Chain A
Amino acid sequence: EAQVTQNPRYLITVTGKKLTVTCSQNMNHEYMSWYRQDPGLGLRQIYYSMNVEVTDKGDVPEGYKVSRKEKRNFPLILESPSPNQTSLYFCASSAPGNTEAFFGQGTRLTVV
Chain B
Amino acid sequence: EDQVTQSPEALRLQEGESSSLNCSYTVSGLRGLFWYRQDPGKGPEFLFTLYSAGEEKEKERLKATLTKKESFLHITAPKPEDSATYLCAVQPYGGATNKLIFGTGTLLAVQP
Contacts and interface: CB of A to CB of B under 8 A. Distances in A.
B97 A96 contact: yes
A105 B96 contact: no
Interface stretch (B10-18, B42-50, B64-72): B42-50
Contacts of A50: 96-97
Contacts of B31: 98
Interface string A79-112: 0000000000010101011111111111000000
Interface string B45-81: 1100101000000000000000000000000000000
Interface residues of A, number: 28
A12 interface: no
Contact of B41 (A35, A102, A106): A106
Interface string B78-112: 00000000010101000011111011110000000
Interface string A33-65: 101000011111100101000001010000000
B32, B87, B99: residue with the most chain A Cβ atoms closer than 10 Å: B99
Interface of B: 31-32, 34, 36, 41-46, 49, 51, 87, 89, 91, 96-100, 102-105
8 contacts: A31-B98, A43-B100, A58-B99, A90-B44, A98-B32, A99-B98, A101-B98, A101-B100
